[in-house]
Chain A
Amino acid sequence: MVLLVTSDNEQFQTEKDIVERSVLIKNMLEDVGESDQPIPLPNVSSSVLKKVTQPSTGPTEIDVRGRYLSTASTTVESPSRPPILEQSQDETRKRTTDISEWDQKFITVDQEMLFEIILAANYLDIKSLLCRRWLQDGSQHDQGARPPEEIRKLFNIVNDFTPEEEAQIKKENEWAEDR
């Protein structure tokens, strides 16, 4: 167990393998060695840390290409349906079997929390939390990206394109549509 102390001075006893998802903490532990000393996290509040380290329900491996997980087995059998247009270098790596409920709950935190989590993930160096699911439609994992309108709404992005510009870029990006 590792003792973490957040910015609001709360203490957390956390499993070592969970905190080691954070590259920052992992390196710290390696540098310090076995110790009972608490690790201060001055940039992370307790509410955020709870989200980041939820122990038993957290995904052990977040696959950013999660939406293909359900089709992975069929593509091997059926070359007529091209295996995936998203070619990660790493298609063969071990895949988790499903997008957990955890993920869905995770993305439905309010936006303020979501940004704090992103910032904390960056500070703690947890790559898996800096992932595309922020843009993905939480209810329909297999449907690919949210439409731009939804992304705008979700993140308060102001559309400053002229309609002509928007149509132009849409046309330029046609090739990227999932087929």
Chain B
Amino acid sequence: MTSLSSPSLRLNGLPTDILILILHELLLVDLSALSLTSRFFHALVNEFGWAGYQRKNPRPSMSLLKSRAAWSAMDSVKYDVLADRSWSQNDFVARPLASPWSGKEQPILAISPSRLIVGAGNVIYSYTFGLSTNGEAPPIVMEGSCALITLHDRRSCITALTFIPDGGLDQTLCVGFQDGSFERILISSRSKHQTNTTLHVHRQAAHPLRLPDKDFLESLSSSRTSLLSLSGSGQATFSDIETPTLTSTIVLGVRSWASRLCMESTSPYAAFGTSLRATPLTIHSITSDALSQFPSAILGQAQPGRRGSAYQDGTMEQSLSTISALPLGVAPPTTGYRPLLRPVLTLDNSWSMEPIYSVSSGGGSGSYVAAGWARHSLVSMWDVRSPIGGLSVHAPLNDPSPVYSLILESSRLFGVTQSRPFVLDFGPGVLESTYPALEPSTRGFPGVTAENTIFRGSTQKGVDDIGYYVTKFLHPSSRTKVRA
């Protein structure tokens, strides 16, 4: 390489806009090396390099969103890189987020950039996301709880929960009850002087669903200003949040489990997961504020015979969460044409024969899928880039329960069992104060004492006694590879 000394041939002699374009093509190590060459490049990388890298390597995460706004682009990239590294090393802090509830609940989770909400029985529990600096993990603080109905009646249990848009305040929820009634809940911000844990809410009954006897509300999903509800027997109702009387209802006519609404897409759609073996997951397009009666696409099972009925719900849920990866926009929304889409990937942990109750995607590099199983509070996580491996973890304190609901973010997995919510945090900078302190409890897990609450075995992070002990095992294929 000829070395020319004319100043015009210096790299910083190139127009800055071109240098910025080049920055956007660089890898982490390049950015780091370049920022070490001179003040000019240090400034350029700090100003444009990290931000560009972050845009090209997004790590969506509700609980980090507000903190990220305060972090520099480099701090944000650093957090993501360290979290990704922990994912690849199966390294995390496990924490229960609450002491166990007195009864067995079938709770659900909802998340917004400000709050994590747990709906269990007839109570909602709210956690807020704090801001953090200096490389610490953004804290999660128990805000309080509130019983929505004093009488604990099965028909008045919360069975569906979703945030609805309120201009970024993140305090408005739509809560659905088993009997098909809805409430709009407005959470009042806590005053600084409040010491108790009562959550103050403003409740407003919303237009209820007319469900037949024995039917019940199974799922609720919102997108932009629309709401989609699904009953156990397969009655799907699409409505506008502001004018809830204008609805569009279709009847799927099968046992239905899960729904997802997407209005952001160029061709808005609703997806439904059902027990019907031939068509476990259907996509219905939404045109002129009405659900189409017939699916525009059907996601089939890989090998219908192989997985068997025990897997059926799981497969559906699983497909439902990965649905956004499919090219839905190109499916022609004509009623006659219904392409049957086969899964491109099937995940299992080859040990658990139970159904899957919950599923979510995200995680390290945005390439993980997490599934909550029907028993032993077991959660499996797979990296879709190496799907034959993966990791299964029993939630902290090992509740003998299904994992009813999961939310996977870039660095955190929120989950909930019949007894309590929990978190697995793969991000850096987790401190004792990051999560709510809990009363020592032995319920359901005799022998939990200070001695066996060890964790995050690796000393690399320099943390100890922050997480709870959890049983984790690598899926068989990963273990073989580890030995090899």
Interface of B is mostly: helix
Cβ 8 A contact of B4, one of A80, A85, A156:
A156
Residues from chain A with a CB closer than 8 A to the CB of B33 are 135, 145-148, 151
Q: Which residues of A contact B3 (CB under 8 A)?
A: 111, 153, 156
Question: Contact between B28 and A132 (Cβ–Cβ < 8 Å)?
Answer: no
A131–B25 touching, CB < 8 Å = yes
The interface residues of chain A, by DSSP majority, are classed as: loop
Question: Does A88 contact B481, Cβ atoms closer than 8 Å?
Answer: no
Residues of A within 8 A of B389 (CB): 79-80
Bound together, the chains give a CA A75 to CA B390 distance in angstroms of 13
Q: Does A108 contact B (CB under 8 A)?
A: yes
Q: Is B2 interfacial (CB-CB < 8 Å)? A: yes
A29 / chain B contacts, CB cutoff of 8 Å: none
Docked Cα-Cα span, A108 to B482, in Å, equals: 41
Report the minimal beta-carbon distance from A37 to chain B, rounded to whole angstroms.
29
Q: Which residue of B lies closest to A169 (CB)?
A: B36
Contact of A156 among B10, B385, B388 (CB under 8 A): B10
Which A residues are CB-close (under 8 A) to B18? 118-119, 122, 130
Nearest CB in chain B to that of A108: its residue: B1
Q: How near does chain B come to A73, taking the closest CB pair, in angstroms?
A: 11
Chain B residues in 8 Å Cβ range of A136: 30
Kindly identify, within residues 341 to 399 of chain B, every residue whose CB is under 8 Å from any CB belonging to chain A: 364-367, 383, 385-386, 388-390
**Complex interface bits, A146-179 against B, C-beta within 8 A gives 1, otherwise 0:** 1110011111111111000110011001011111
A-chain residues with CB within 8 Å of residue B35 when the two chains form the complex = 169, 173
- Pick the contact of A135: B1, B30, B88, B89 (CB < 8 A): B30
State whether B385 touches A83 (Cβ < 8 A).
yes
8 A Cβ contacts from A83-128 to B: 83-89, 91-92, 108, 110-112, 115, 118-119, 122
For the complex, is B57 an interface residue (Cβ under 8 Å from A)? yes
- Is A157 a contact of B22 with CB atoms below 8 Å? no
Known A-B contacts A111-B2, A144-B29; the reply to A91 vs B367 at CB < 8 A is yes
Contact (Cβ within 8 A) A87 B57: yes
A residues adjacent to B (C-beta < 8 A): 64-65, 75-80, 82-89, 91-92, 108, 110-112, 115, 118-119, 122, 130-132, 134-136, 144-148, 151-161, 165-166, 169-170, 173, 175-179
Question: 25 pairs across A/B with beta carbons < 8 Å?
Answer: A65-B27, A75-B385, A76-B385, A80-B478, A82-B89, A83-B383, A83-B385, A85-B85, A87-B365, A91-B385, A130-B18, A135-B33, A136-B30, A144-B27, A148-B34, A153-B3, A156-B4, A157-B41, A160-B38, A169-B42, A175-B82, A176-B28, A176-B78, A176-B81, A177-B32
20 extra A-B contacts, CB within 8 A, seeds A77-B386, A91-B365, A160-B40: A78-B386, A79-B390, A80-B482, A83-B88, A89-B57, A89-B366, A112-B9, A115-B13, A119-B14, A119-B15, A119-B18, A122-B21, A134-B22, A146-B33, A156-B9, A157-B38, A161-B39, A165-B39, A169-B35, A176-B78
